[in-house]
Amino acid sequence: MPDARYRINTPTVASKVIGGDAVLIHFTSGHYYSTDQTGAAIVERLDGRTVAEVAGAIGTAYTGDGEAIAEAVAAFVRRLEAEGLVVETADTAAAPLPAVEVGGAFVAPELHKYADLQDLLVLDPIHDTDEAGWPVTPADGNG
């Protein structure tokens, strides 16, 4: 895990760091997420970098036990991976690892998950088609 490299799972996922926090959107699950400063710093740096590299940058910026910080960062990345928000990659980041500007006592990042919009993703994979091949629903009276 420490040597694994990750990237945001684009284009299935889009992420944006704004005001130091992050918002992530998963376009096929219908879930969306937010995370705070530490989580956003991790998300922003997971672009072809190893978990150890990202944990090192976080550990340099925040005060706290280095081992505990590394484990918290790894746990957060595992959570991101489990949600399908990041995937492993063989590509190495081209840009230098940016320093984390916000400091202070380290607080383990939290990932807030929202499922209230799933119904908006209209998908009806089970459908009949008309003679030309266009989908019809029972409501059409043709299916």
Of the pair 25, 74, the CB lying nearest other proteins is at 25
Binding other proteins (rule: CB under 8 A), the pick from 2, 7, 21, 84 is: 21
Binding other proteins (rule: CB under 8 A), the pick from 5, 6, 9, 32 is: 32
Taking CB under 8 A as the rule, does residue 138 contact other proteins? Answer: no
Distance of CA 57 to the CA centre of its chain: 19
119, two tokens: 């119904």
Closest CA relative to residue 40, chosen from 89, 98, 120: 98
Q: For the segment 99-128, give every residue that binds other proteins (CB under 8 A).
A: 114, 116-117, 119-125, 127
Of the pair 32, 76, the CB lying nearest other proteins is at 32
Termini Cα distance of the chain? 50
Taking CB under 8 A as the rule, does residue 88 contact other proteins? Answer: no
Q: What 8-state DSSP symbol labels residue 95?
A: S
Binding other proteins (rule: CB under 8 A), the pick from 2, 34, 97, 108 is: 34
Q: What is the DSSP string of 98-128?
A: PPP---EE-----EEEE-TTGGGS------E
How many Å apart are CA 64 and CA 59, to the nearest integer?
8
How many Å apart are CA 57 and CA 55, to the nearest integer?
5
Binding other proteins (rule: CB under 8 A), the pick from 18, 90, 94, 95 is: 18
- Judged by the rule CB under 8 A, the positions of this chain that interact with other proteins are 10-11, 14-16, 18-19, 21-23, 25, 27-28, 30, 32, 34, 114, 116-117, 119-125, 127, 129, 132-137, 139-140
